[in-house]
Structure formats: C-alpha cells, structure tokens
Structure 1
Amino acid sequence: MPEKFETIKHAEKPEWWKWEGTWVSKFGCHPDIVDAQIESNRKLYAEQGYEILDSNIEKGSMFARVKLLLRPKRVQIEKGEPKLREGTDLECIYQNNLEITSVLATVNFKLILEFDNREYRLLDMKRFLKRDRGVLKEILDIDLFRTARVDGIARTVVFENGVDFDHDVLFAESVNIDHVLGNEGEVKHEKF
C-alpha cells in the first residue's frame, strides 16, 4: 500500500512555480530534519549562484518530501540601462559568476555548455540571434559557428570572428540539459 502524504507547508506563491528560468529541486528526508536540510541546500545553492524562492513540504509517516523552487540570483540594474531581453519589462539581469569550462557546437546551431558548477546547459543560437545583424549574424554560418571555443581568460564562448558572449547571459538564455532529457529531480519552466 503506497504511503499517504499530508501537506504541511503549501507553496506561498504558486504562480512563481511557472516562471521561466526557475527549476524545482526535490529531496526526501526524515521529518525532524526538514528545516536543517533546507538551510543546508540554501547555502549550497547560494554558492552555485541560485536562490530559493519558495518551498513545498509533504509529510508521510516515515519521511518528508520537499520541493524547492530555485532560480539564478539576480541583481538590480539602474533605470535606463538596457534590459536583458528587448521588449520586456524585466528590470534585472542574471548574475551567477559561473564560468564556462567547455563548449560543443552542434550542426543544428546549438551550443552545449558546461559551467564550473558541473551543470550542462543547451542554448539554441538560432533563437538567440534571430534578430541580429553584422558580426553576430555571421555566426549563423555553420562553418563559423563550429569554431566556438572557450576563451582561456574570460572563460566564456568566443567564435573565430572575435564575437564573444557574457557567460551570465549564456546561462540565463539556456536550459539545463537534464530538463531536455527529462531526468527526474529537476523541472525547468519555460514561460515567464
């Protein structure tokens, strides 16, 4: 007979759980140490550049199930500065300070990025560059695109024509590969 769970803490802001850029971390533990485990996870995720937005806790007879809603840390920018995405009201940018350790450029204009927190992310460059002109548009040439490499100093992606990207933007615009592959333990949200 499956164990029954009673919700002991509902999500405070259910609408937040649908934001783009958020993901859900799940774990189980003994009910007596839920708070300590959440605090331990909070410190671990803070070191990796994430913040916990909300939690949902269910208690069973033997253990508790915990879901934590996470997103990359953000910092405010001054009014009048460019926003992260053209045409949005978003007034903050991602700042993770995560560096790229490796990159693989695929034949369908996607980058597989490995960050120094051991997270692999997928970025569709066609979607990312569809409105750009000049040297950025040159990257949509497959031969130039396949020249993507990690710059040894800036620790971000650079192409043969000299174009490079801020690693925080690459992180923010990409999705975790675990989400793409459907691995359990993490759920990425696509709409903001």
Structure 2
Amino acid sequence: MKEDLLAAIRDSLASGAKTFLAEFRAAWPNETMYSFLFELPPEGSYACAAAATEEGLTRVVKKYAAKGYAAGLKDATAALQKWLRWAGPEDGWFQGLNSDAFVPTSKLLDEAFAAEWIKPFDGQLESLAQSALRHLDTEGVFGTGEGREAVVLGVCNIGGDNSDEDFFAWAEEVNPPTVMQRLRREVLESRSMSDRIPSPGWKPPTSGGGA
C-alpha cells in the first residue's frame, strides 16, 4: 500500500509537469528553456514547478537595469545576466498560471502524511521528484542530444531554503556530467556577481583629503 501510494505521487508529479510544460509553451511560445525545476517546500507537503528561458532572463535583466542595478559597470548587461541566471525562480522564471497541475499531487501527499508514510522534512518528496524527472527524461520530454544538454533539470526548495550544495546534489541525480559542469560554473559566477553588482543609487567612495 505504501509503495503504491508513493508510486502514485511520483506519477502525479510527472503528469503535473507535463501539464505545466504545456501551459508554459502556450504562454511563452518559441522561447528557449534552460532549466526546469520542481519547487518543493522543505516539509514536503505540496509541489509546484518553474521553467527558465533565455528570453525570460533577458526580460528580467532589462527590468533590473531599468531600476539602476549595475549602473556604471563596463558591461552591465553581461554582469546582470550572470547574476540573475541562477538568482532564483522568483526572478523572471515561468511559474505557472494558477492551474490545477499539481492538485492531484497535493491530495496524494495529504494521504501519505495522514498515514505517516511521508513525514515533514524527511526528503522523500525530493526523491520522488527526482524519480519523476528521470522518467520524463527517458520519454524525451526535455529533448535529446544537444537539446537535452541545454536544459538543467532539478529540484529546489521554495523560498531558497536549500543550499547550493543541496541544489547540486539533487541536480546530479538527473543531469549528465557535462550539464553539471556548466551548472556549477554558472552558479559560482552568479554568486560571485552578488558582491559586484552596484545597487541603485550606489556611488563609489571618494578619496578623503585634508587642507
């Protein structure tokens, strides 16, 4: 019974992802996806998803530039692109249209919690999400060959409640080594840019002098 319910949760995650991706492609047609993530609360009580595109990144870069971020940097656009690519799904990612894509998952999770077959913070939902991603990947949902290697699959906690190392560990389960090498490099670049992006209104300090 337990294994049947966990398998049903995994299957509902995969089905929900397909519904989400259909909505994504209808809302953002012809955009180039570079990541698909299951977004999960740390306690594991429900699921949602997010997709990132190169075009979405361009839009959010323009938004931040218009607010004055990175003003004065020699190549502000490139700096903002590096910073925001992995800043988080709240910054320019497609996060759904308030659909019912993952409602079946939530109902099944309620059953699993009631039976104490899944407990808060036990990591089982992350594992089931990884299994769902592997299943979708074998179906070619995220492309094949070079097309597949352009997309990072993974899991993250809602609100950024996971470390980069958690994110990498989850991603390693569902991505080829070449994708992981690129992901680690890009995330490192993103984090390094955080201390180098001037906030709006920032001015360089002037040198002191005395009469």
TM category (shorter chain) comes to: under 0.3
TM-score by length of 1: 0.24
Structure ranking higher on relative contact order (CA contacts 8 Å, 6+ apart):
2
Higher helix share: 2
